[in-house]
Amino acid sequence: MILVVGGAGYIGSHLVKDLVMEEDVLVLDNLITGHREAIDQKALFIHGDIGDPFVLKTVFKNYPIKSVMHFAAYSLVGESVLDPQKYYENNVGSTLNLLNAMLKHNVKNFIFSSTAATYGIPNVELIDETIPANPINPYGKSKLMIEEILADYASAYEMKYTILRYFNAAGAHESGEIGEKHVPETHLIPLILQHLAGLRKNISVFGTDYDTPDGTCIRDYIHVTDLAKAHISALHSLLNGWNKSAVYNLGNGQGFSVKEVIETCEQVTGLKADVVYCERRAGDPGRLVASAEKIKRELGWEAERNLEQIIQSAWKWHRNQKY
Ligand code: UFG
């Protein structure tokens, strides 16, 4: 059985929907940002928090967990600057509880959701995993702290782990049953689609004076189903003993500017956006594009869905939201 912590959240719920096809899955989620309706019915569900030692004891004593996948974290960069305590308590403190409970119950396989925010503002075209981590906000730092703890736990306690550093996750499940729903929403693609669906007055572009061809920020958007598939490859590798405790970028290797994303949303929907050009948002790097060559080489995974497919799936979900 695989324990998926945060399996009611956006990325966790997409992973669960695919993973239940091949494994028994137990979801543990406190439902603070996740949605009960997003959890696939074939998965078992426990409503609880990894900050609670009793919950962890119950889970590890009563279920034959062979691996843990950890998606439960706060992930808003701006909020992490204003309220670092929330980020360090949950993303670091509670994750440490989880790791210690795993050790206590001799569960040694761990897949960790990390982020491109660990790189800070790297001044390179394509970011590969040899670029030194240098996070510039508490969110990125909280993820890097766990990455470092994992390396120490691996050498001292034989913990085996895979760290997956996501670039910009987007899109929705092909079934149309689950998709991206954050409250509040801060991410570019759902905000554009909400605007085009008539739920927001306009779409703001944060900054037009970046050192990029059209002056707006460039990001590497990756379909959430491609992310889910990467987790399943990483799980196979861990369970088959191939893994050597590694960190991998998850991206498409292709960058799109904010303007290009808006244009693609207009093409997919056939609707015209009302765009408002604004000041830069604090802490936004101008360009973040992954090299995902390492995971392709070592685990045979690569992203299969392009920006248009990402937006098509997200639009299908937005027009027919189930929760
Ligand atoms: N943007 C706008 N207008 C908006 C919202 C976003 O112009 O209304 C721009 C942002 O400035 C940025 C781009 O669109 O340039 C993408 O912004 P998102 O908020 O969608 O995503 P981020 O790149 O800021 O953040 C994502 C993840 C974080 C992670 C980060 C790593 O959501 O969790 O990538 O860099 F930390």
Q: What is the average per-residue pLDDT within 178-194?
A: 96
What is the average pLDDT score of the chain?
96
Torsion sign, CA atoms 174, 175, 176, 180: negative
Residue range of the domain that includes 277: 188-219+253-319
Q: Tell me, yes or no, whether 125 and 211 share the same domain.
A: no
- pLDDT above 80 for 244: no
- CATH number of the CATH domain containing 54: 3.40.50.720
Asked if residues 43 and 27 have their Cβ atoms less than 8 Å apart, the reply is yes
Torsion sign, CA atoms 214, 288, 226, 295: positive
User: Do the domain assignments include residue 179?
Assistant: no
- Which one of 119, 139, 153, 221 is the catalytic residue? 139
Q: Tell me, yes or no, whether 244 and 200 share the same domain.
A: no
Q: Tell me, yes or no, whether 130 and 266 share the same domain.
A: no
Asked if residues 313 and 173 have their Cβ atoms less than 8 Å apart, the reply is yes
Give the bridge partners for 3, in sequence order: 26, 68
Q: In this predicted model, what pLDDT tens digit does every residue of 298-318 receive, in sequence order?
A: 999 999 999 999 999 999 999
Q: How many domains does the chain have?
A: 2
**Which of 137, 227, 258, 289 best tests ligand 1's pocket when mutated (most atoms within 8 Å of CB)?**
258
**Which of 114, 118, 187 best tests ligand 1's pocket when mutated (most atoms within 8 Å of CB)?**
187
Q: In this predicted model, what pLDDT tens digit does every residue of 147-170 receive, in sequence order?
A: 999 999 999 999 999 999 999 999
Q: Tell me, yes or no, whether 141 and 283 share the same domain.
A: no
119 class by beta-carbon count within 10 Å (0-12 exposed, 13-18 middle, 19+ buried): buried
- pLDDT above 90 for 243: no
Share in percent of the chain as helix, strand, coil (round to 5):
40, 20, 40
Q: Tell me, yes or no, whether 28 and 156 share the same domain.
A: yes
**Annotation marks residue 139 as catalytic:** yes
- CATH number of the CATH domain containing 206: 3.90.25.10
Q: Tell me, yes or no, whether 152 and 286 share the same domain.
A: no
> What residue type is 22 in one-letter code?
E
Ligand 1 nearest-atom number relative to CA 206: 7
Residue 22 tokens read as: 């091949």
**pTM score, two decimals?**
0.97
- pLDDT above 80 for 172: yes
Instruction: Tell me how far apart the alpha carbons of residues 265 and 207 are, in angstroms, rounded to a whole number.
Output: 19
Torsion sign, CA atoms 108, 111, 117, 121: positive
Asked if residues 273 and 262 have their Cβ atoms less than 8 Å apart, the reply is yes
Instruction: Tell me how far apart the alpha carbons of residues 156 and 130 are, in angstroms, rounded to a whole number.
Output: 24
How does residue 217 score in pLDDT terms, banded at 50, 70 and 90?
A: very high
